[in-house]
């Protein structure tokens, strides 16, 4: 059977970042700058991606704008026909750089906001002045006519400001806002007890989002991501393992999702060693959990199997101790009640002792 090609490529150009967000989903073992792929290698990845039928590329990180070859790579992606998205905190951008990126064919920028309160923003990102800078950046993006998404990362510390963040996004001229509750991977998982919202906060946030959707229909699209710890069923992680997305790390390791390296018995290939299309089809990590036959038995026989694709393997490992277990955020998992209890308990701890993202925990 032939495997349909992915739709989107996530290029993690670097793990370097001036911010130190407590919720960062990068791995705890950050890849060093000295081993990052060079420009020529990334260009080859883009060529291969376009040839195999990938349609969109997301330049991400870390902070992709720390790479001085970003303009070159955006230009190359556009020249091979890929739709280009930049996922950035914005703090390193200035109007000249935005002009250059737009001139090279950048279509869309997803600008991350930690909060709409400067102090809250600083406290969670360990970076001063970020909020003010982002407001400027949004203005330049708008002037330059780029499509803008505001990505608002939600925790219990800014949950009450979901409505204000939506209003801010609309004021900034965003076409789309994501009210994105933290997903607990990497540093976010490490800091879970200091981030998790309460169930009541979540109910309130959901109501705020619903009301804003009514009010802003046709003006701004609102995407809403809840923490699935409180849900009945898991999120359709990556739209299904090895189904729509392929992720390349700064050093060129090819993953079905950015957290896949937490699963110990998977072996990954590098883009320098093997063509991307071949990795997508044949690499054991991609094959292992792909499609219905890669799901836990409970999921294989469940009506939701092609809705949530059996949830998240990395979350199953983190929460149930086995990557092939039913995702514990599903009510059919034996661990479901325990997970909901943990979330509720952690949300009440009032902890604010973040472990900021850093190069070494030692």
> How near is the Cβ of 353 to another protein at its closest, in Å?
33
Selected from 50, 209, 299, 325, the binder of ligand SF4 by CB under 6 A is 299
Please give the size of the binding site for ligand SF4, defined by CB under 6 A: 27
- Should residue 133 be labelled a site residue for ligand SF4 when binding is judged by CB under 6 A? no
Q: Which residue lies nearer to ligand SF4 by CB, 175 or 305? A: 305
Residues within window 78-137 making contact with another protein, judged by CB under 8 A: 83, 85, 107-108, 110
Return the SS3 of 225.
Answer: strand
Please state, in angstroms and rounded to a whole number, the distance separating the CA atoms of residues 205 and 181.
10
Residues in the chain: 362
Residues within window 206-235 making contact with ligand SF4, judged by CB under 6 A: 233-234
- Should residue 89 be labelled a site residue for ligand SF4 when binding is judged by CB under 6 A? yes
Please state, in angstroms and rounded to a whole number, the distance separating the CA atoms of residues 105 and 82.
10
Selected from 21, 138, 152, 317, the binder of ligand SF4 by CB under 6 A is 21
Q: Which residues contact 355 (CB under 8 A, 6 or more apart)?
A: 22, 187, 190, 191, 361
> How near is the Cβ of 324 to ligand SF4 at its closest, in Å?
12
Q: Which residue lies nearer to another protein by CB, 223 or 337? A: 223
> How near is the Cβ of 120 to ligand SF4 at its closest, in Å?
14
Selected from 14, 26, 191, 283, the binder of ligand SF4 by CB under 6 A is 26
Query: Considering CB distances under 5 to 8 angstroms, the limit depending on partner class, which of ligand SF4, another protein, none binds residue 310?
Result: ligand SF4
- Should residue 326 be labelled a site residue for ligand SF4 when binding is judged by CB under 6 A? yes
Selected from 34, 96, 145, 273, the binder of another protein by CB under 8 A is 145
> How near is the Cβ of 229 to ligand SF4 at its closest, in Å?
14
- Should residue 55 be labelled a site residue for another protein when binding is judged by CB under 8 A? yes
| R_g of the chain computed on alpha carbons | 20
- Should residue 306 be labelled a site residue for another protein when binding is judged by CB under 8 A? no
Bond before 213 cis per omega within 30 degrees: no
Q: Which residue has the tokens 């076409």?
A: 175
Q: Which residue has the tokens 């925990």?
A: 361
Whether the Cβ atoms of residue 232 and residue 328 lie closer than 8 Å to each other: no
As beta bridge partners, residue 12 has: 60
> How near is the Cβ of 219 to another protein at its closest, in Å?
6
Which of the stretches 71-79, 154-162, 273-281, 324-332 binds ligand SF4 when contact is defined by CB under 6 A? Answer: 324-332
Residues within window 168-187 making contact with another protein, judged by CB under 8 A: 170, 172-176
Q: Which residue lies nearer to another protein by CB, 66 or 172? A: 172
Query: Considering CB distances under 5 to 8 angstroms, the limit depending on partner class, which of ligand SF4, another protein, none binds residue 61?
Result: ligand SF4
Q: At what angle do helices 199-215 and 336-347 cross, to 10 degrees?
A: 90
Structure tokens at 8: 């989107």
Return the SS3 of 88.
Answer: strand
What b-and-e string marks burial along 74-84, b requiring 16 or more CB atoms within 10 Å of the CB? bbbbbeeebeb
Please state, in angstroms and rounded to a whole number, the distance separating the CA atoms of residues 342 and 347.
8
Please state, in angstroms and rounded to a whole number, the distance separating the CA atoms of residues 138 and 90.
8
Q: Which residue lies nearer to ligand SF4 by CB, 30 or 279? A: 30
> How near is the Cβ of 107 to another protein at its closest, in Å?
4
- Should residue 305 be labelled a site residue for ligand SF4 when binding is judged by CB under 6 A? yes
Whether the Cβ atoms of residue 262 and residue 318 lie closer than 8 Å to each other: yes
- Should residue 58 be labelled a site residue for another protein when binding is judged by CB under 8 A? yes
- Should residue 281 be labelled a site residue for ligand SF4 when binding is judged by CB under 6 A? no
Backbone angles phi, psi at 105, to 5 degrees: 105, 15
Please state, in angstroms and rounded to a whole number, the distance separating the CA atoms of residues 221 and 81.
26
CA-closest candidate to residue 343, choices 182, 235, 229: 229
Helices and strands counted in the chain (H then E): 14, 9
Report the interface residues with ligand SF4, using CB under 6 A. 17, 19-21, 24, 26, 61-63, 89, 112, 125, 233-234, 298-299, 302, 304-305, 308, 310-311, 326-327, 330, 332, 357
């Amino acid at each position: 059977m032939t495997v349909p090609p992915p739709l989107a490529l996530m290029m993690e150009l670097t793990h370097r970042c001036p911010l130190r967000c407590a919720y960062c989903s990068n791995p705890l073992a950050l890849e060093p700058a000295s081993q990052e792929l060079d420009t020529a290698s990334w260009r080859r990845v883009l060529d291969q991606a376009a040839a195999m039928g990938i349609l969109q590329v997301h330049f991400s990180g870390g902070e992709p704008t720390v790479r001085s070859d970003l303009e070159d790579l955006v230009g190359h992606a556009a020249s091979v026909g890929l739709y280009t998205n930049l996922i950035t905190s914005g703090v390193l951008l200035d109007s000249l750089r935005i002009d250059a990126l737009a001139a090279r064919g950048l279509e869309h920028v997803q600008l991350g906001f930690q909060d709409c309160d400067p102090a809250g923003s600083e406290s969670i990102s360990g970076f001063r002045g970020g909020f003010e800078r982002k407001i400027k950046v949004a203005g330049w993006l708008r002037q330059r006519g780029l499509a803008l998404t505001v990505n608002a990362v939600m925790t219990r510390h800014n949950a009450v400001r979901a409505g204000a963040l939506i209003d801010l996004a609309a004021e900034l001229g965003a076409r789309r806002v994501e009210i994105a509750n933290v997903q607990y991977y990497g540093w976010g998982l490490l800091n879970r007890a200091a981030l998790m919202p309460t169930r009541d906060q979540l109910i309130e946030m959901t109501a705020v989002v619903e009301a804003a959707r009514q009010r802003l229909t046709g003006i701004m699209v609102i995407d809403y991501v809840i923490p699935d710890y409180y849900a009945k069923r898991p999120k359709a992680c990556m739209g299904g393992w090895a189904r729509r997305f392929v992720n390349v790390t700064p050093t060129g390791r090819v993953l079905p999702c950015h957290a896949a390296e937490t699963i110990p018995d998977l072996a990954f290939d590098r883009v320098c060693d093997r063509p991307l299309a071949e990795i997508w089809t044949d690499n054991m990590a991609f094959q292992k959990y792909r499609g219905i036959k890669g799901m836990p038995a409970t999921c294989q026989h469940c009506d939701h199997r092609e809705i949530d694709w059996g949830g998240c393997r990395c979350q199953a490992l983190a929460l149930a101790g086995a990557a092939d277990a039913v995702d514990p955020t599903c009510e059919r998992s034996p661990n479901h009640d325990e997970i909901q209890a943990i979330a509720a308990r952690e949300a009440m701890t009032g902890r604010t002792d973040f472990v900021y993202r850093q190069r070494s925990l030692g």
